[in-house]
Structures are given as C-alpha cells and as structure tokens.
Structure 1
Amino acid sequence: MDWMHFIESWFWFGFAALGFAILFNVPKRTLTAIFMMGGFGGLVKLLFLEWNNGVILGTLIASIFVGFVSIAAAHSKHSPPFVFAIPAVIPMVPGSFAYYTMKGIIKLAYNQTPEDFLPLLNETVTNGFKTMFILLAIAVGVFAPMLLTARESAKQIKIPLFSHDKNQG
C-alpha cells in the first residue's frame, strides 16, 4: 500500500469535487467542505478497491459516507445537504466504464466477424452493467442518509457538535 498514492488521489478527488462545485456556483463558504468530502469520499472508494471489495461496493460505501457527512456539513455551513453531496460524488462517476460500453456498442454495430461477436458482446454488457450499478450505488448512497433523516428539516436535527443553542451546556 503506497501512502503517497492515497495522498495524491485524495488531492485529485477533492480538486475534481471543487471544480464541479465552482461549476455549479455553490456558495463560497461551502467550498472547503466540498473539497474535503470529495477527497475523503474518493479515499474510501480507493480503500475498498485496495481491499479487493469491488468498485460497486466501494462506490456505495463512499457515497453513503459523503451523504452522512453532507448532512453534518449542512448544519455548520447553513446550506442544503445536496450542495455538498452532489459535487463531492461526481468524481466517482464511472466515466471509463461508460466509455468502453459505448465503444463496444459501436464495434458491435460494425462487427463483420462472427467469432469476435460473443467476446465483444460479453465485454460490452459487463461494462454497461458496471456503469449502471455504480451510478445506482452513487444515487442510493447519497440519497439514503438524507431519506433516513428526512423526518425533520436538516436545520431542525440536533447534532451536539454543530448545535448553536445557547441553552445547552
């Protein structure tokens, strides 16, 4: 396990999340939290990949992590949780799997040899299902924590660490 690789990956995941946050024109007060959530969410995914648990499970756990942290960040920065969660998980979108799925579909359309058809079809369908399940894992991971805490508004949920109530000791 190369720790320098994880530090570098943390930076790039955070930087990508920060770029999407700026693109979505989020409030400036949220940028640091989005950078940290994107970086640490990416690290959780990479750790699961390092432990050979698979990209889909790693993405699900990382998205759940980002979802719960975004609720806590919503308290401290006075912004909706989605402002934090969406830019932080966008770097986890499976671009390479989607690319190879589309490339395989195009090759299947122009395939002239029957012996190449089945292996190409298998690879294309595999990449397509990986893309679909990773996107599903991101959606479920981000929205599940918010749905679990949706009984009250994010501002009404009391978290002792972020509570600004003067009556508490």
Structure 2
Amino acid sequence: MTEWYHFPEMGVWLGFAALGFAILFNVPQRALPFIWLLGALGGITKLLVLHFGGNIILASLAGATLVGFLSIPAAHSKHAPPLVFSIPAVIPMVPGAFAYRMMLGLIKLAGNTGTESYSDVLNSAVSNGLKTLFILLSLAAGVAIPMLITRKESAKEIKIVKSK
C-alpha cells in the first residue's frame, strides 16, 4: 500500500522535472512557478488515477487534461501562450520506460533468437510500443482538447491580415 506522503513527494519531483524542461526550452521567467505547479498537479493526478485502479493510458490522459485546462488561466494571467505552460508540464509524463523496452525488444528480434522465444519477444515489443503510442496520443489530446474547447472564436472568424 502506498503511503499518503508519497503523492505530494512525487508531485514535488515531477514539478521540478517540468521546471527543468521549462528552463531548457527557455520559457519566460514569470511562467516558471506556474509550470512547476502544473507539472506537480498533473503528475499527482496521474499517480492518483493509477493508485485507484486506472490504467496508464487513462491516467496520462487525466493528468494531461488537468494540465491543459489549468494552463489556460495561467496563460491569461501571465500573458503567454498556453503551450508555454502545458508542454513542459506534461513532458515528465512521457513513457520513456515503455519506449526503451520496445526498442530492446526490437534489438533482440534482430538478433538470433529461437522460434519459441521469438513470439514472446515480439509480443512484448508490440505491447510496449502500443502502450507508448497510446500514452503519447493521450498526452497530446489532453493538452490540445481543453484549448480547442475554450477557444473564444471560430477559425472561420479569424482574419488574416495580408501585409503589402
């Protein structure tokens, strides 16, 4: 059983990971505290969904959706695009371990393996690859959908000004 203090502790570290990516991407300094908070809240949401029996794909979608919705008021208050806040906050949720296991499986498949272990390695590589794909899709959807829903004007109403 996971102790109660595990979630805030992991939130702190996930917030620092998001902060590191924000600094790496050279975001405005005024946005850094919000990015730390969004990374922590998104990570805690993902961990809580996993803790209560959700799968990794839905947990990633829940965390990214929370980050997507919270990045909109943060963007308005700090006068920056919402992506400045949301992208660094969801990068710590990228499934590196699944992608690594998939690549190891593909490397094993390229080597000499017996026919009995070949199907096991293939199943493992495909499973890890599909998990990676669906988690990345859920992170992208979780960030993009709140911004599309809360958009104030339609794309048809946006005027493109041609310069002379």
SS at match of 2:5: helix
Contact kept in structure 2, 1:59 and 1:134, CA below 8 Å: yes
1:141-156 equivalent positions in 2, closer than 5 A: 141-152=142-153
Deviation for aligned residue 1:151? 3.1
Q: Distance in 1 between matches of 2:48 and 2:112?
A: 39
SS at match of 2:152: coil
Deviation for aligned residue 1:150? 2.0
Contact kept in structure 2, 1:111 and 1:117, CA below 8 Å: no
2:124 is matched by which residue type in structure 1? Answer: E
Which runs of no fewer than 5 residues in structure 1 stay unpaired?
154-169
Choose 110-119 or 45-54, whichever is displaced more: 110-119
Deviation for aligned residue 1:78? 1.0
Q: Distance in 1 between matches of 2:153 and 2:10?
A: 36
Choose 53-62 or 143-152, whichever is displaced more: 143-152
**Alignment-derived partner of residue 85 in structure 1:** 86
Q: Percent identity?
A: 58
1:103 is matched by which residue type in structure 2? Answer: L
**Alignment-derived partner of residue 39 in structure 1:** 40
Q: Distance in 1 between matches of 2:46 and 2:112?
A: 36
2:21 is matched by which residue type in structure 1? Answer: F
Q: Distance in 2 between matches of 1:88 and 1:152?
A: 26
**Alignment-derived partner of residue 166 in structure 1:** none
SS at match of 1:56: helix
Q: Distance in 2 between matches of 1:85 and 1:32?
A: 13
**Alignment-derived partner of residue 128 in structure 2:** 127
**Alignment-derived partner of residue 77 in structure 2:** 76
**Alignment-derived partner of residue 63 in structure 2:** 62
Q: 1:75-107 CA distances to partner (integer Å, 9 max, x unpaired)? A: 111111000000000000000000000000000
**Alignment-derived partner of residue 108 in structure 1:** 109
Q: Distance in 2 between matches of 1:4 and 1:50?
A: 13
Once superposed, what is the RMSD of the aligned Cα atoms? 1.1
**Alignment-derived partner of residue 53 in structure 1:** 54
Deviation for aligned residue 1:19? 0.1
Deviation for aligned residue 1:68? 0.4
Deviation for aligned residue 1:45? 0.2
Q: Distance in 2 between matches of 1:19 and 1:10?
A: 14
So what's the TM-score if we normalise by structure 1? Answer: 0.88
Q: Distance in 2 between matches of 1:118 and 1:140?
A: 32
Choose 107-116 or 139-148, whichever is displaced more: 107-116
Q: Distance in 2 between matches of 1:118 and 1:30?
A: 48
Structure 1 stretches of at least 4 aligned residues deviating more than 3 Å after TM superposition: none
